[in-house]
Amino acid sequence: MNLELIAFTERGRALAAQLAGKLTRRGHHAACTRSENQSAAEWAATAFGRSQGLIFVGAAGIAVRSIAPLLRHKSRDPAVVVVDEGGQFAVPILSGHLGGANDLAREIAGALGGQAVLTTATDVTGVFAVDQWARRQGLAVCNPEKIVGVSSALLAGRAVSLWSRWPIAGEMPEGLTWGERETAAVVVDWYAPGEAALWLCPKTLRVGVGCKRGTEAAAIRALFQAVFGEERLPVQGIAAVCSIGLKKDEPGLLAFCGELGLPLTTYSARELAGVPGTFTPSPFVEQVTGVDNVCERAALAAGGALLRKKTAQNGVTLALAGREPSLSWNTDGRESS
């Protein structure tokens, strides 16, 4: 995670620096980023939109007042954890499950020899937390408003049915049962389920794009929206937008990637030519790029299955591929790879 820390006293700053180092050694990118004379509210306003997690070393009240005007939605807010200056307690106060604040608090407590103070009902009672499990497994929660219904049922002791397109290793947690896709309360799939189900989608979809020079982002966006709408796939499940290296500086394509919040992944003509499979050939594309197909090959360059063959519109070609996830009933606090 990309983590930013703030502290307010000499003792707090020493602990924050120590903690940033420990978290960085554990694989995070953590740093104390408060500028001289910057207020807590000013720091929070800057860090809130660019980091995955904020750590306040100090009083919880300062943290609450600083982040209050910035709150958006549980599916988009970063994790926020408060740590006392003695390093005794790590308290998640925002995005405990979806943002990973609970897991971060546990990790901080482990690093400092302190205690994580968790207040979310599922953690307090030991009930399966579907949103936390989804995050750890790399699943996008496509309709987070459905989480409360699932969690409420589990907390009330009612069975919740789940259907998954892929196998899930290990023993299913108490409270869950296997169900049919049409009636399950939780569906794990690339494709949209019925409106009543909580939809969890693996973040493994890859969008392959080819376009003429000078193509504007609007043209790419129009085809993308049409294809995703027809396939009933979620934008949240996209892992990468891919193309040929010739397009690495294409302004319209880069702008489209910026809209999705994803970098553009590119491959050389030789790399694309080496992708195994049967593709929709184009002599013109081969003459220009050196490979007979860009969008399908780019979408499949990292493996997986082709979910949508080449679709062309207004100088843009687009294809979709998906890599099957490896899922488990992992409850040890680590995210699935």
pLDDT over 50 at 324, yes or no? yes
Q: Report the range of poorest mean pLDDT among 124-128, 135-139, 186-190.
A: 124-128
The whole-number pLDDT of residue 331 equals 59
Q: Which of 198, 196, 182, 279 is closest to 234 using CA atoms?
A: 198
Q: How far apart are CA 293 and CA 219, in angstroms?
A: 19
Q: Is the pLDDT of residue 104 over 50?
A: yes
The residue with greater pLDDT, 111 or 126, is 111
Which among 303, 220, 278 is positioned nearest to 254, based on CA atoms?
220
pLDDT digits (tens, 9 = 90+) for 180-229: 999 999 999 999 999 999 999 999 999 999 999 999 999 999 999 999 99
Residue 5: burial class (beta carbons within 10 Å; 0-12, 13-18, 19+)? buried
SS3 (DSSP) at 206: strand
**Contact yes or no for 181/193 (Cβ under 8 A):** yes
Tell me what the pLDDT averaged over the chain comes to.
93
Predicted pLDDT of residue 332? 57
CA distances in angstroms from 248 to 168, 241, 311, listed in the order given: 37, 11, 21
Task: Give me Rg for the CA atoms of the chain.
Answer: 23
Percent of the chain with pLDDT over 90: 89
Name residue 322's beta-bridge partners: 205, 305
The pLDDT, as a whole number, for residue 269 is 95
Q: Is the pLDDT of residue 335 over 60?
A: no
pLDDT at 336 over 80: no
Distance separating alpha carbons of residues 209 and 108, to the nearest angstrom: 41
Predicted pLDDT at 333: 45
CATH numbers and ranges of domains, the chain = 2-119 (3.40.50.11220), 129-202 (3.40.1390.40), 205-322 (3.30.420.180)
Tokens representing 233 are: 């796939």
DSSP annotation of 182: T
pLDDT at 337: 32
What would the pLDDT profile of 142-194 be if each residue is shown by its tens digit? 999 999 999 999 999 999 999 999 999 999 999 999 999 999 999 999 999 99
Q: What is the pLDDT confidence band of residue 330, given thresholds at 50, 70 and 90?
A: confident
Q: Identify each DSSP E strand in the chain by its residue range.
A: 2-7, 29-32, 53-57, 79-83, 89-94, 115-116, 139-141, 160-164, 168-169, 176-178, 186-188, 198-202, 205-211, 238-244, 264-267, 305-313, 316-322, 327-328
| Type of residue found at 94 | L
The whole-number average pLDDT for the span 227-248 is 95
Q: Are 32 and 81 in contact (CB under 8 A)?
A: no
Q: Return the SS3 of 259.
A: helix
Asked if residue 160 lies in contact with residue 179, where contact means CB atoms within 8 angstroms, the answer is no
pLDDT bracket for residue 258 (50, 70, 90) = very high
Neighbouring residues of 279: CB distance < 8 A, sequence distance ≥ 6: 292, 293, 296, 297, 310
Helix axes of 217-231 and 251-260: crossing angle, nearest 10 degrees? 50
> For 285-306, what is each residue's pLDDT tens digit?
999 899 999 999 999 999 999 9
Lookup: tokens for 57: 């070393």
Nearest to 44 by CA among 36, 31, 55: 55
